[in-house]
């Protein structure tokens, strides 16, 4: 796929993983080494990240401790995990402990107590906010002595986040081996911030909109919905999903996202958290029944958009 420059560096901000693929090739060209080899010798090993690698596929020495990725509905990824050539974007295998070592290394370099593998001058550039509240990589937030840096990770079957203070050595790393786990990650980080009395703590990274969903009161799915809605539905001309009942619950099986539960609320609304990142783009659902009482279409959100049409 061709890539092109859309604006001169430093004039605008856009989150774009392809830029890091360019950096990956730059490192390879300048060093004369494969990217994963260079990162192992110049970054991971000096920091002490002994359980981390950019190698694809995962070396046998680390395979036994690798977590199996899961769809948001709980099903394991076929083959346990996926591989990809974009090493800078989605190729780092690591652990919370190793990621914390990276954070500590950056904090020490910034404070001037360590110059390897990151020089103090570069650490200051790295943690200075620019366009889009970004440093050289991490997202930056807060101000003064409470300034923080962090980043989120969203790969198929895995989600993670870290946040750390530039000063005083505070920070935390949370990793999960499931899709749509960010609300749990956010709750854990919020709890850590309260227990350890983090100053002026708030969101640091590019957390998804679903992280701001408030708790909902749910009720058992009405019997009429359990009887009327199961079947196969399409969104557009491509994706076909299946809605089915199991016991007193209602579930959706969405290709690429696994199986997830649909919940009912006292106000007659339905929601499925995992659908936030699907082609539907909404977690809220409204079932529309035909004259025979069978669901014919499912509206997305509350704006009347037709999200899904029954096909059987």
pTM: 0.77
pLDDT computed for residue 205 by the predictor = 67
Average pLDDT over residues 185-209: 84
185 and 100 in a common domain: yes
Instruction: Report how many domains make up the chain.
Output: 2
Angstrom distance (rounded) from CA 167 to CA 52: 25
Q: Is residue 26 part of a domain?
A: yes
Q: Is residue 142 part of a domain?
A: yes
Angstrom distance (rounded) from CA 232 to CA 129: 48
Q: Is residue 11 part of a domain?
A: no
pLDDT computed for residue 182 by the predictor = 81
Average pLDDT over residues 117-128: 95
89 and 129 in a common domain: yes
52 and 159 in a common domain: yes
Q: CA angle 100-105-108, nearest 5°?
A: 125
In the predicted structure, residue 209 carries a pLDDT above the cut 60: no
Cβ atoms within 10 Å, residue 1: 4
| Contact present, 277 and 292 (Cβ < 8 Å) | no
Angstrom distance (rounded) from CA 312 to CA 295: 11
In the predicted structure, residue 228 carries a pLDDT above the cut 90: yes
- Binned at pLDDT 50, 70 and 90, residue 211 comes out as low
191 and 227 in a common domain: no
Q: Is residue 218 part of a domain?
A: no
Who wins on pLDDT, 73 or 296?
Answer: 296
Q: Is residue 217 part of a domain?
A: no
Give the domain extent around 191. 18-211
Place of tokens 């854990």: 188
Who wins on pLDDT, 224 or 279?
Answer: 224
């Amino acid at each position: 796929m061709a890539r092109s420059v859309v604006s001169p560096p430093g004039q605008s901000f856009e989150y774009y993983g392809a830029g890091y693929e360019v950096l990956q090739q730059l490192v390879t060209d300048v060093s004369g080494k494969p990217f994963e080899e260079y990162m192992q010798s110049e970054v991971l090993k000096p920091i002490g990240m002994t359980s981390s690698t950019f190698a694809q596929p995962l070396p046998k020495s680390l395979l036994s401790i690798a977590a199996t990725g899961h769809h948001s509905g709980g099903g394991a990824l076929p083959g346990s995990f996926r591989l990809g050539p974009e090493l800078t974007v989605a190729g780092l295998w690591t652990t919370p402990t190793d990621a914390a070592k990276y954070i500590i290394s950056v904090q020490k370099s910034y404070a001037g107590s360590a110059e390897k593998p990151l020089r103090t001058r570069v650490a200051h550039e790295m943690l200075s906010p620019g366009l889009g509240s970004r440093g050289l990589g991490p997202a930056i937030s807060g101000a003064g002595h409470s300034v923080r840096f962090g980043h989120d990770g969203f790969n198929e079957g895995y989600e993670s986040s870290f946040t750390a203070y530039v000063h005083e050595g505070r920070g935390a790393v949370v990793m999960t081996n499931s899709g749509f786990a960010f609300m749990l990650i956010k709750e854990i980080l919020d709890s850590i911030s309260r227990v350890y009395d983090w100053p002026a703590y708030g969101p640091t990274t590019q957390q998804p909109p679903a992280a701001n969903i408030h708790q909902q009161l749910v009720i058992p799915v009405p019997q009429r919905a359990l009887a009327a809605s199961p079947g196969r539905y399409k969104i557009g001309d491509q994706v076909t999903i299946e809605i089915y009942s199991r016991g007193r619950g209602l579930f959706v099986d969405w290709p690429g996202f696994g199986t997830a539960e649909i919940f009912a609320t006292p106000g007659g609304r339905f929601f499925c958290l995992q659908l936030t990142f699907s082609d539907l783009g909404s977690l809220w659902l409204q079932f529309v029944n035909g004259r025979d009482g069978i669901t014919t279409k499912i509206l997305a959100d509350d704006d009347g958009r037709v999200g899904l049409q029954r096909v059987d």
